Structure 1
């Protein structure tokens, strides 16, 4: 099973179009979007239209949740007053720009998607109940849509989050910084139960120093088992897109110019 996962488009239509075109060239079995379709750029309606037209299963990001309810709070955590001021402009702009139908769509999005894979290939035990490999898709974390799970979080802590969510594989976004870790929360002396944590990065607003759009190809093979390390393969795909088109669109709008600079420099 090969799955394409992407997140954090943030109304960047050129980046989304490039990623979807790249996915179309690959033989994938399923595609999922982990939210934050809107905010920070000028194409919230067009991005939503693309996602809906393709019927891509999508969960709500924190920005989607806020804009869907016409809130002036997107659940973002801004550390600097300047960031906070720019964020208010972005929220107001998105609330003013988004269509009624698109806003209604955002309100219907689920907060998580769980997919269980029955991978027992032993024909002698074909009908015997076996624990599935559980894939959980969230935006921020299983606990809160706007919780940040960064790469430097202690492995035991990250493992406990996956354990609490009963997830063998957890895919998430929100930080805009991709990483993959295999972690465990079990105390020493017990059999190790491994879990996979995958931050899939950002399509439309990367923050890892690479301005190219980012998405993940996740392959779940026949060797994958609950608690195992094997059979899970993660590929981070970087896609070049027309950054200047996206940046200039910001500069020609009411949105703050620093958002354009961020796209150019990531």
Structure 2
């Protein structure tokens, strides 16, 4: 079985279409979506319309939850933009997304960690910034989850780690946004360093799983222009460069 894992699309329809085209060329038995789907200053409604008919195994991320749970006047700008752009049927689709999903018997989909959609799984933030998490940290975050493969998103960074007990944790990176900055618990930046769209394939072999990280060209300058027109120079920079 070959799984194509998508995460953190963030309403970037052009990046999503490029990734779906690449998956079609590469081949996959199933495509899964790990959340943070429509929050953006880009194309939230169009992205929802592209995905809903596909019926992919899909979970919600923290931004999907936030654009439903809060008073719109108090939302973050990207969540507010998406909330205002989506019609009722699209919002209902987002509302019905589970926070985690068991796929097959031994594959688990989460957005952040099994416990929290806003926690980092494979990275740790300190006063010095963000670093790769230790095996011990990742093992504690995985807890007693029984799965040979755990797919996560949220940090927008392509990374995998295999624990001593054989469990494999894979973050496919972000389809639609290749960097962001965040202030908690300490100020830090997550940056892929190029604007290419990211995803991963994970293939079950006779004895284990094999991971391939993919990066895909698309017209990011056009999408960056859209962000600029919508008053988001921060997104414009990220979309053009992959840096904050």
- TM-score tier, shorter chain, comes to 0.7 to 0.9
Q: Which residue in the other structure is 1:88 paired with? A: 76
Please state how far the C-alpha of 1:168 moved relative to its aligned partner. Answer: 2.1
Divergent runs of 4+, >6 A? none
Q: Which residue in the other structure is 1:206 paired with? A: 178
SS of residue in 2 equivalent to 1:25 = helix
Is the contact between residue 250 and residue 257 of structure 1 (CA under 8 Å) also seen in structure 2? Answer: yes
Cα deviation 1:234-258 (Å, max 9, x = unaligned): 00010001101110011112x4211
Normalising by structure 2, what TM-score? 0.85
The answer as to 2:116 corresponding to 1:144 is yes
Cα deviation 1:53-87 (Å, max 9, x = unaligned): 2111110011111223454599xxxxxxxxxxxx8
Matches within 5 A, 1:158-173: 158-173=138-153
Q: Choose the corresponding residue for 1:108, options 96, 108, 114.
A: 96
Higher alpha-carbon deviation: 6-15 or 91-100: 91-100
**Structure showing the higher strand proportion among its residues:** 2
Q: Which residue in the other structure is 1:244 paired with? A: 221
Is the contact between residue 115 and residue 135 of structure 1 (CA under 8 Å) also seen in structure 2? Answer: yes
The answer as to 2:241 corresponding to 1:261 is no
The answer as to 2:6 corresponding to 1:6 is yes
Structure with higher Rg: it is 1
Q: Which residue in the other structure is 1:15 paired with? A: 15
1:51, 1:179 → 2: CA distance? Answer: 25
SS of residue in 2 equivalent to 1:95 = helix
Q: Which residue in the other structure is 1:189 paired with? A: none
1:17, 1:260 → 2: CA distance? Answer: 19
SS of residue in 1 equivalent to 2:16 = helix
Cα deviation 1:75-133 (Å, max 9, x = unaligned): xxxxxxxxxxxx8322322222221111111000011111235xxxxxxxxxxxxxxxx
Let me know the Cα RMSD of the aligned residues: 1.8
Cα deviation 1:201-250 (Å, max 9, x = unaligned): 00000131121000011001122xxxxxxx21000010001101110011
Q: Which residue in the other structure is 2:61 paired with? A: 61
Cα distance change, pair 88–256 in 1 and its aligned pair in 2 (3 A): same
2:86, 2:210 → 1: CA distance? Answer: 37
Q: Which residue in the other structure is 2:187 paired with? A: none
1:169, 1:73 → 2: CA distance? Answer: 39
Is the contact between residue 136 and residue 169 of structure 1 (CA under 8 Å) also seen in structure 2? Answer: yes
Normalising by structure 1, what TM-score? 0.79
Corresponding residue pairs, total: 222
Could you tell me which runs of 5 or more consecutive residues in structure 2 were left unpaired when the two chains were aligned: 124-131, 180-191
